[in-house]
Structure 1
Amino acid sequence: MSDQPLKKKRRWLPITLIFAGGILAAGLVNSALDYTNRTEFCVSCHTMQTNFKELQETVHWSSASGVHAGCADCHVPKAFFPKMKAKILAAKDVYHEIVGTIDTPEKYEARRWQMANAVWDKMRASDSRECRSCHSVDHMDFEEQDKSAAKKHSQMVERGQTCIDCHQGIAHKEPDEPKDAKTN
């Protein structure tokens, strides 16, 4: 009797195990990303409580229509590779929490301008990608907006502007520019 059918089955076993392992690993990574995108996770560092309280006072948190945005909706891209880049860069916030750079309200406020500008620069570089996942100029009803907003929104593309150019303080307190920042 020949061992041929048994050898064929054994040849596919490593490929099947690698494939199953890949699916399991992808599922675990996706679960970890979903967990770390939860607002509860984001604000588990006590320095993020300031941001959380500010967010809770905006229309992005609570609105008449029930629309709600959490931390990841504005700060984490949906696409995989930009999301991974954002997650890696977010490690700096954990680092600063651990080493004490932003561990008190006073230290946090001292760095707020720098942190806000980093986020604004990221949003400009992505053409406010995360904003546009909910807000699309193409679907705006300019008739329902006040005259000034309708004019600005209808001209923003031709002016090369993006959402964050006008809406910097939309979900968090807009920091005051430090006096010494203007001389740099």
Structure 2
Amino acid sequence: MRHSKKLVVLAAGAVIGITAVAATVRYTSGTEFCLSCHEMRVYAEEMKFSSHARDAEGRPIGCAQCHIPGGNIVRMLAAKMWMGSKDIWVHAVDGETALDRAAMQPRARRFIDDANCLACHQDLGRNAKGDGPVSTEGRLAHDSYLGKNGRSRNGCAGCHANLAHLPPFDARIPRNHAFAEKLKEADLAKP
């Protein structure tokens, strides 16, 4: 009888623990939670003017849709622990200084999981609006990504930079011109 009581207590503890972890993961994956730190607010403001502000159905795109790997619980939890630890450090230690976005960019792009991009952009032969084919350059790059004509080492964010956020130092790049103009009109981009 003692043995079965221990098993019941262990099972109940496991259920409570798993429920607590799931609730914490859900809460800390919300955009409201991300924006509770002042360092992240610039990203939210930029996002409002980007081509990725809303999905194809017109719903706002949240932070987790791009920044948290989906589908693989181990990768998702590892990414949340790594990025969460890093973000807590930045907030607690470096929070009063401006973020060095130029230094952060290459590392940040590694945490944009291609599966997250492909959840919305499934047909790589179509342009982003879905109303025509991609350019010849785009088709060749996507074929390389898919291993059809060689193998690309770039993930989606490696080629498609600054689609949701545009730091001021990248505003000068011609392909970012339209996005930079929207930010300038909103007085978010500094010359």
TM-score computed with the length of structure 2 as normaliser: 0.72
The correspondence for 2:146, drawn from 146, 157, 161, is: 157
Q: Deviations over 1:20-60 (max 9, x none)?
A: 11011101110010000000000110110001111121232
Q: 2: distance between equivalents of 1:73 and 1:33? A: 14
Structure 2, unaligned runs of 5 or more = 171-191
Is 1:70 the counterpart of 2:62? The answer is yes
CA RMSD of aligned residues (A): 2.4
Aligned pair in 2 of structure 1 residues 53, 65: CA closer, same or farther (>3 Å)?
same
Q: 2: distance between equivalents of 1:172 and 1:67? A: 18
State the SS of the aligned residue for 1:49: helix
| 2:125–2:134 contact (8 Å) kept in structure 1 | no
Size of the aligned set, in residue pairs, is 159
Is 1:94 the counterpart of 2:94? The answer is no
State the SS of the aligned residue for 2:86: helix
2:184 corresponds to which residue? none
Query: One-letter code of the match for 1:145?
Result: P
Structure 1, unaligned runs of 5 or more = 1-6, 178-184
2:74 corresponds to which residue? 81
| 2:67–2:111 contact (8 Å) kept in structure 1 | no
Q: 2: distance between equivalents of 1:14 and 1:102? A: 46
- Identical residues among aligned pairs (%): 27
2:106 corresponds to which residue? 117
Q: 2: distance between equivalents of 1:47 and 1:132? A: 28
State the SS of the aligned residue for 1:133: helix
1:172 corresponds to which residue? 165
- Structure with the greater alpha carbon radius of gyration: 1
| 1:116–1:175 contact (8 Å) kept in structure 2 | no
| 1:77–1:83 contact (8 Å) kept in structure 2 | yes
Q: 1: distance between equivalents of 2:143 and 2:59? A: 23
Deviates more, 1:70-79 or 1:146-155: 146-155
Q: 2: distance between equivalents of 1:154 and 1:133? A: 18
Q: CA deviation at 1:151?
A: 4.2
Q: Which has the higher helix share?
A: 1
Q: 2: distance between equivalents of 1:117 and 1:50? A: 18
Q: 2: distance between equivalents of 1:89 and 1:43? A: 18
2:49 corresponds to which residue? 57
| 1:60–1:67 contact (8 Å) kept in structure 2 | no
Q: 1: distance between equivalents of 2:168 and 2:67? A: 18
> For residues 14-25 of structure 1, what are the structure 2 equivalents within 5 Å?
14-25=6-17
| 1:47–1:102 contact (8 Å) kept in structure 2 | yes
Q: Deviations over 1:66-120 (max 9, x none)?
A: 2542111111112221122112212212211211x2434xx22xx1011111112
Q: Deviations over 1:150-174 (max 9, x none)?
A: 4433343233242112111111115
The correspondence for 1:11, drawn from 3, 20, 23, is: 3
